[in-house]
């Protein structure tokens, strides 16, 4: 399974069979609960061999407590690509999308156009640690909020406009210094950054 952005497990406790809501791709049921899988990017059955092949294509997973962080740091640090593009390369590390790459680079003060091999080991270590913290927070929140509660008027149960709960992503101005946000096209998608807080 690849949950992607919208994939979700819905758990209904008890032995009663709940109605199918929307498009359910898989249902697991026992006497204690029913678990429905909805909206995954992929849900398919394969062999152990297929599984090994998929895992081989993917870099370390920041959400995996046993992930080999030094392998990811090594790969980022050897890349001749801009770090903003490297972060989206799932062979280097997996799980980072367009929002998190912009936000993690901002928090670390790294310009997205700097090359991977131009970054120091210390910068790459901080970048990895930041990505780990942000993704874990995202799982906990079940949505992407990268700014602290001091920047949000109210969080619980409220929906956010795009750019409301981020430092630079989809914002007109930097949340920290109010400089107009710029974008640079990296890996085919616009990467948001603050030209003041993130210098080359």
Residues in contact with Zn ion by CB under 5 A are: 174, 176-177, 179, 194, 196-197
CB of 109 to Zn ion, least distance (A): 9
Nearest residue (CB) to Zn ion, 128 versus 167: 167
CB of 76 to Zn ion, least distance (A): 23
SS (H, E, C) the chain: CECCCCCEEEEEECCCCCCCCCCEEEEEECCCEEEEEECCCECCCCCHHHHHHHHHHCCCCCCCCCCCHHHHHHHHHHCCCEHHHHCCCCCCCCCCCHHHHHHHHHHHCCCCCCEHHHCCHHHHHHHHHHHHHHHHHHHHHCCCCCCCHHHCCCCCCCCCCCCCCCCCCCCCECCCCCCECEEEEECCEEEEECCCCCCC
Closest-by-Cβ residue to Zn ion is 174
CB of 133 to Zn ion, least distance (A): 20
Nearest residue (CB) to Zn ion, 76 versus 194: 194
Nearest residue (CB) to Zn ion, 75 versus 111: 111
CB of 179 to Zn ion, least distance (A): 5
Nearest residue (CB) to Zn ion, 3 versus 126: 126
């Amino acid at each position: 399974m690849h949950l992607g952005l919208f994939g979700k497990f819905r758990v209904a406790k008890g032995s009663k069979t709940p109605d199918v809501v929307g498009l359910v791709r898989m249902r697991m049921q026992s006497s204690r609960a029913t678990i429905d899988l909805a909206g995954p990017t992929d849900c398919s059955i394969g062999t152990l061999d297929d599984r090994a092949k998929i895992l081989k294509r993917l870099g370390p997973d920041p959400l995996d407590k046993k992930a080999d962080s030094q392998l990811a740091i090594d790969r980022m640090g050897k890349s001749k690509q801009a770090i903003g593009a490297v972060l989206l390369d799932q062979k280097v590390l997996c799980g980072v999308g367009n929002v998190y790459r912009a936000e993690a680079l901002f928090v670390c003060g790294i310009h997205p156009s700097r090359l991977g091999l131009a970054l120091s080991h210390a910068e790459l270590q901080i970048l990895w640690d930041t990505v780990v913290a942000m993704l874990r927070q995202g799982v906990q929140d079940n949505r992407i909020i990268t700014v602290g509660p001091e920047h949000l008027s109210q969080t619980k149960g409220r929906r956010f406009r795009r750019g409301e709960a981020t430092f630079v992503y989809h914002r007109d101005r930097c949340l920290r210094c109010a400089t107009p946000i710029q974008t640079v096209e990296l890996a085919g998608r616009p990467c948001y950054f603050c030209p003041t807080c993130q210098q080359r």
